[in-house]
Amino acid sequence: MSIHENLLGGPPPTHLPDDPEPRELLAAGTDPAEVAARFPTSSLAWAQLADDAYQAGRTVESYAYARTGYHRGLDSLRRSGWKGHGPVPFEHEPNRGFLRALHALARAAREIGEDEEYERCTTFLKDSSPTAASTLS
């Protein structure tokens, strides 16, 4: 038996491939809009745009950015073998952009009164990564 075997019988964790350039540009202070334009598949860039818009009180804009990052992340997850459920560990840094976008989508949905979307995204975040749910909330 492998030490990494899932004893509960669920799918293995999904680890997105590393894409360090957007992360490094954001860490260096590059405008997230510039990073998203240069790397439109980067959930991290869209999540940062969502966070910045939310902090500035632009909730609907935050929602749109978060939804883009969320869908870009779903595309990446599927390309990485994810079948619609299973762990997406926050501990794996390349997964954080998707998880941040999912959290931002839930947060903005709650703010605009889209309760079903808020509940769906909150549950999805907890099911994907309890660590992300507790860290980001």
C-alpha to C-alpha distance for 137 and 135, rounded to whole angstroms: 6
Neighbouring CB atoms inside 10 A of 101's CB total: 31
Mean pLDDT of successive 10-residue stretches along the chain, which has 137 residues: 54 96 98 98 98 98 98 98 96 98 98 98 98 96
Global model pTM greater than 0.75: yes
Report phi then psi at 133, rounded to 5. -60, -40
pLDDT of the residue at 9: 74
Distances from the Cα of 27 to the Cα of 19, 23, 47, angstroms? 13, 6, 14
pLDDT at 7: 57
Q: For residue 130, which phi and psi values (nearest 5 degrees)?
A: -55, -35
